[in-house]
Structure 1
Amino acid sequence: MRRILLLAVTLAPLASQAVPLNDDFNLDIDLALVSDYRSRGISQTQNDPAAQLGLTLQHASGLYLGAWTSNVDFGFGAATRQEVDYYAGWFWQANDDISLDLGYLQYRYPKNSEFNQSEYYAVLTAYGFSLGANYSDDAENLFGPSQDILYSYVGYETQLPLDVGLHLRYGRMDFKDPMFMSASEHFSDAYHEWEVKLTRELLGVTWGLSYIDTDLSKAECASSYGFDDVCEATLVASVGKKF
């Protein structure tokens, strides 16, 4: 749920790897296996592994549309076992170092439509740094009749020695109304999350290892997500292939 789209970071380098359909269109195919599907610091699979597939159709003008899917497990007998995201946007690249990505994203959960929601997103990337925001004004199905959500983050990517990629992110999830209750019954409407990820190309695939954490306590986590271990610090291993 609420998968982070860093399209401004990823679309530019993938353009050379995408499958060319003709002079104007490319198709990007993204396959991945992860030891835990974490979105904005929160596990979407009860800390279990996930298989993920993404397809993005890109036009030479910068317009694109696509779909992405992963298995999920929210517990409590939720019928859905799949997340399907649909997105469309425009990617503008000023030069090799500066780009802007604007788009719209829908989250769909078969058999549990009350989880469905949508977001608008914008990501500005410059010289390895990224600044992004996702805003949802239709989260009332899941979080209450008047709940809006703003997720904002900063990130940085660089190449380390031995062809190791370093990816950093620090984000804030901000809800319109209080969402989390501490053990002392203090209510809050926001939390912070962060990720440090190392990647390496080997044997034709990308291997990754992430450290992911939030500042939510066990009580705050359980008060909103129903479990006290889906917000904790964890290591996430991944392997992926892009075509």
Structure 2
Amino acid sequence: MRKILGVASLIMSTGVVHAEQLNEQEQISPYSANVTFASQYISRGFQQTWGKPALQIGLDYANPNGLFVGTWASNVSSNYLRDASVEWDFYAGYLKTIDKFSIGMSVFYYYYPGAKSTPETGSTSYNYGEIVPQIGYGPLSLKYFITYTPDYAGYNSNTMGGTEGKRSRGTTYLDLNFTQPINESWTFGAHYGYERIKNFSEANFQDMKVELIKDLGDGWTTGLAYTKAWDKDGYYRNYSNGEPDAPISNPIDSTFTVSVKKVF
């Protein structure tokens, strides 16, 4: 469940690299790849590697006219999602920039090979997809993730209880980001997110992040991020993957993450 695009894409997200003109005849290649080593994987405030290190790899194609397509993958913990070891994302979209203003639309699909909830909860798949309209101006950007698949990350009446037959299609995530260079090598970022889970409001949550990113040159960056999420009534305080005797933790507790990223 990746959706925050943060340590400015160092920790939680894929940054899509758009072609820039080198001169009137030459442009940067529309193809790029990235590799990130992080102390853990945080997405929307959730510690998806259960506090353990993460290796993340992405491939992107970005056409100068604004079209882009890509894929990104990270290890995840089976303590977070039952039988999960990998999150594999696919995305495509369009982003138009005019001076300081930007507007775009993208589609994401998040795939967790082999990961399902317990048989007692319907062996529900955690795979899901979102459409994402977005706007931006200067250092500010706003994205609005909308779940188009029947469930968001396995949330339904089998896994959540309550009235039979309820699904979570239409779940939304508001993603507000501020990114501002401090000087030629340092960048500051801040994020606020709000997840509203359709039909299961008791599981709604908010999250925040502040980060510093250092450009090391030659495609290398390093980052430090502080993240925290919170819910209404401590819903996630004693979280487990649903297995008997599974480890229990609070995956949205405050935490720091350090990372190193290389873009090719």
TM-score between the two structures when normalised by the length of structure 2: 0.77
What's the CA shift string for 1:126-179, capped at 9, x where partnerless?
111111110103252710042131000211111114731001101101111235
Question: Which of 210, 215, 226 is matched with 1:196 structurally?
Answer: 210
Distance 1:85 1:104, change over 3 A: same
Map 1:101-116 onto structure 2 (within 5 A): 101-112=104-115, 114-116=125-127
**Aligned-residue identity in percent:** 24
Map 1:1-243 onto structure 2 (within 5 A): 1-5=1-5, 10-11=15-16, 14-16=18-20, 26-75=30-79, 78-95=82-99, 97-112=100-115, 114-140=125-151, 142-144=154-156, 145-148=166-169, 149-161=171-183, 163-178=185-200, 188-202=202-216, 204=218, 205-216=220-231, 219-222=234-237, 226=241, 227-243=248-264
- Indicate conservation of the 8 Å contact 2:205/2:232, yes or no: no
- Indicate conservation of the 8 Å contact 2:223/2:258, yes or no: yes
- Indicate conservation of the 8 Å contact 2:16/2:68, yes or no: no
Would you tell me which structure has more strand in proportion to its own residues?
1
Tell me how large the CA RMSD over aligned residues is: 2.9
Distance 1:76 1:172, change over 3 A: closer
Query: Structure 1 regions of 5+ residues with no counterpart?
Result: 180-187
Distance 1:44 1:92, change over 3 A: same
Please report how far the alpha carbon of residue 10 of structure 1 lies from its aligned counterpart in structure 2 after TM superposition: 4.6
Would you tell me which structure has more helix in proportion to its own residues?
1
Please report how far the alpha carbon of residue 49 of structure 1 lies from its aligned counterpart in structure 2 after TM superposition: 1.0
Counterparts of 1:80 and 1:211, CA distance in 2: 25
Counterparts of 2:81 and 2:95, CA distance in 1: 39
- Indicate conservation of the 8 Å contact 2:73/2:88, yes or no: yes
Please report how far the alpha carbon of residue 80 of structure 1 lies from its aligned counterpart in structure 2 after TM superposition: 2.4
Aligned residue pair count: 229
Counterparts of 1:38 and 1:174, CA distance in 2: 19
- Indicate conservation of the 8 Å contact 2:203/2:231, yes or no: no
What's the CA shift string for 1:76-105, capped at 9, x where partnerless?
78222111101110111112x221221101
**Matched residue SS, 2:231:** coil
Query: Structure 2 regions of 5+ residues with no counterpart?
Result: 117-124, 157-165, 242-247
What's the CA shift string for 1:187-227, capped at 9, x where partnerless?
x2421100000011125410100000012389411466554
- Indicate conservation of the 8 Å contact 1:25/1:59, yes or no: no
